[in-house]
Every structure is written in C-alpha cells, then in structure tokens.
Structure 1
Amino acid sequence: MKRDIILSGVGGQGILSIATVIGKAALNEGLHIKQAEVHGMSQRGGDVQSNLRLSSAPIASDLIPRGCADIILSLEPMEALRYLPWLSTEGWIVTNTTPFVNIGNYPEAEALDRALRSLPRVIAIDVDTIAKEAASPRAANIVLLGAAAPLLDLEAGKLEQGIRDIFARKGDAVVESNLAAFRAGYEYARKSMQR
C-alpha cells in the first residue's frame, strides 16, 4: 500500500487536523508515515501545503515528487489547482468548492469550476454547506476528510477512531459532530464516484 497526499488550503482551515487524523489511522494500521513541514501556517489566510506519505514499506523522502501524488486534498479550489503539477496521471482531486477570496486578483468562481470539471477524477464538494447541515460549520475540514476516505486505502473505522482520539479532549459533543461531518462527506463521495 502506498498513498502520497498533498494537503492544501488556507491557514486556519484545519489542514493539520486532517493530517493528524489520517496519520493516526495509518499508524493504527501499522503503516509507515512521513509528513513534510507545513508551509504558510504562521499566517492565517496564507496558503498552506503539506506532503503526507503513507506506505506499507519504509519511506525514504518526506516530499512527493512532481507527477506522483495520488490525491490532492484541498479545502480551497484555487489551492487544489495550484498543485496540479504534483498530481499523477491516475490521481484524484478532492476539493471544497467554496472559494476563500483573500487576494485582489482571485480567479472568478466559474473559471475555477470549469477548470476542476475539465479534470478526469475530481470530487468537488461544498464542505461548508454540508458541515452546517450535518454537524457544525467548524467541521468543514472533516467533511472533506470523509469525502477523501474512499480513496485513502484506510479503513473508515480507523479514520473514525482517529477522529475520536484527536477530538476526545474537547468532549463528546465535538467528537460526535466531527463523526457526523466525516460520515456526511464519505456518503457524498461514494455517491459522486458512482456517477
């Protein structure tokens, strides 16, 4: 098993929480894991990117070579497109559709949507709306994790246990809202992939 994942978004959206949950699940499955440092975290609203590598064999480098990422997992559509050079020809993009407009020359939403729709393997999901409907607006990142779950080659139950482990100190209500968010994203992805 090998999965190379680019996590991207904007500072403050919860990229580290996604990486932590995936990492916990991978370790619970006995996999090797490497994560490159996250760039941009010191600035809320700045771009954030991290390389997360999972494998049943030892991993030599923590950086994913261009053209080798299996998944780009992005909480922001423009950031998903920014990392296309790292996506393998068989790779998937799982992205939020809601833009985080933080620069003056941000592309038009229609242009982003067209660019995403032109790609062969994309799960584009409005994680903000689904999080509000299923759980809590603060769980949008976990909705995105749920949408990526069918592609991760990790048991959904292990990812759910990772959510329990990470959020347990915040209380049962927070754990349950994050589990609801994960399950809503997971169901959306399963239906989307069947089309």
Structure 2
Amino acid sequence: MKADIILSGVGGQGIVSIAATIAQAALDNDLFIKQSEVHGMSQRGGAVYSHLRISDKPIASDLIPMGSADIIISVEPMESLRYLPWLKEEGWLVTNSAPFINIPDYPDLNLLYSEIEKFPNHILINADEIARQVKSPRSTNIVMLGAASPYLEIPNASFEEAIKKIFGRKGEKIVELNLQALRAGREFSLTHQKEKA
C-alpha cells in the first residue's frame, strides 16, 4: 500500500486537521507516514500546502516527486490547479468548488472549473455548502477529507476513529459534527462515482 497525497488550500482552512486525521488513521493501520511541514502564510490567508506520504514500507523522503502524487486534496479550487504538475496521470484531483477570494485578480470561476473538469479523475464538490447542510460550517475541511476517502486505501472506519481521537478533547458535539461532515463528503463522492459509471 502506498499513497502520496498533496494537501492544499489557504491559511485557516484546516489543512493541518486533514493531515492529522489521515496520519492518525494511517498509524492505526500500522502504516508508515512522512509529512512535510505546512508551507505558506498560514496565518494570513496565503496559499498553504503539504506533502503527506503513507506506505506499508519505510519512507525515505517526505517530499513527493513531480508526477507521482496519487491524490490532491484541495480546500480551494484555484489552489488545486497549482499542484497539478505533481499529480500522476491516473491520480485523483479532489477539490472544493467554493473559492476563497483573497486576491483582486482571482480567476473566473467557470474557467477554473473547466480546467478542473479536464482532468479525468476529479471530484468537484461544494464542501462549504455541504458543511452548512450538516450544521457544521467550520467542517469544510472534513467534508473534503470525506470526499477524498474513497480514493485512499484506508478503511473508512479508521477515519471515523481518527476524528474521535483528534477532536475528542473538544467534546462529543464537535466530534459528531465532524463525523457527519466526513460521511456527507464521502457520500457525495460515492454518488458521483455511480453517476459517472
């Protein structure tokens, strides 16, 4: 088992929580993990990204070579395109469709979506809206993790257990909201797969 994951978004969108949840789920399955630091202006709404590598064998480097990432999980659509050179041809691009407009010349959304849709294996999900529907607007990042979960070789139950561990100190209500966000994101991807089949 091997998964090379690029996480991307904007500072404050919860990239660290996605990474921590995936890492916990991987450790619970006795897998090796390496993660690069989260790079970028995370306190100022700037672009942030991280490399996360998971394997059943020891991992030498925390950096993913160009063209070999299995999946990009992006909480922001423009940021998803920034890392396409890292994605392998048969990899998955899983991105939020809701923009975080923090620059005056933000690209036209229809152009962004058309670029994303050119990629054969993509999930374009309005994670902000789904998070609102499950009454947890701050859980957009966990909706994104749920949407990506069918493309990661880790049992879904392990992600749920990881959420309980990561968010447990915040109380049962926060855990339950994040579990609902995870399930809603996963359901979106599974439904999308069926519609494409």
Give the TM-score band, short-chain normalised: over 0.9
Q: Which runs of 4+ in 1 moved over 4 A?
A: none
- Which residue identity lines up with residue 98 of structure 1 in the other structure? A
Identity of aligned residues (%): 57
| Residue in structure 1 matched with residue 102 of structure 2 by the alignment | 102
| Residue in structure 2 matched with residue 191 of structure 1 by the alignment | 191
Kept in 1, the 8 Å contact 2:42–2:48? The answer is no
- Which residue identity lines up with residue 75 of structure 1 in the other structure? V
- Report the alpha carbon displacement of residue 9 of structure 1 after superposing the two structures with TM: 0.1
| Residue in structure 1 matched with residue 15 of structure 2 by the alignment | 15
Q: How does 1:39-118 map onto structure 2 within 5 Å?
A: 39-118=39-118
Kept in 2, the 8 Å contact 1:135–1:178? The answer is no
Name the CA distance, whole Å, in 1 between partners of 2:26 and 2:192: 25
- Report the alpha carbon displacement of residue 106 of structure 1 after superposing the two structures with TM: 1.1
Give yes or no for the alignment of 1:167 onto 2:167: yes
Cα displacement string for residues 139-179 of structure 1 (whole angstroms, at most 9, x for unaligned residues): 11100000000001000000000000000011000000000
- Which residue identity lines up with residue 94 of structure 2 in the other structure? V
TM-score normalised by the chain length of structure 1:
0.98
Name the CA distance, whole Å, in 1 between partners of 2:116 and 2:40: 24
- Report the alpha carbon displacement of residue 42 of structure 1 after superposing the two structures with TM: 3.9
- Report the alpha carbon displacement of residue 59 of structure 1 after superposing the two structures with TM: 0.3
RMSD: 0.8
Name the CA distance, whole Å, in 1 between partners of 2:167 and 2:38: 21
| Residue in structure 1 matched with residue 124 of structure 2 by the alignment | 124
| Residue in structure 1 matched with residue 148 of structure 2 by the alignment | 148
TM-score normalised by the chain length of structure 2:
0.97
| Residue in structure 2 matched with residue 179 of structure 1 by the alignment | 179
- Report the alpha carbon displacement of residue 134 of structure 1 after superposing the two structures with TM: 1.4
Kept in 1, the 8 Å contact 2:10–2:42? The answer is no
What is the total number of aligned residue pairs between the two structures?
195
- Report the alpha carbon displacement of residue 40 of structure 1 after superposing the two structures with TM: 1.3
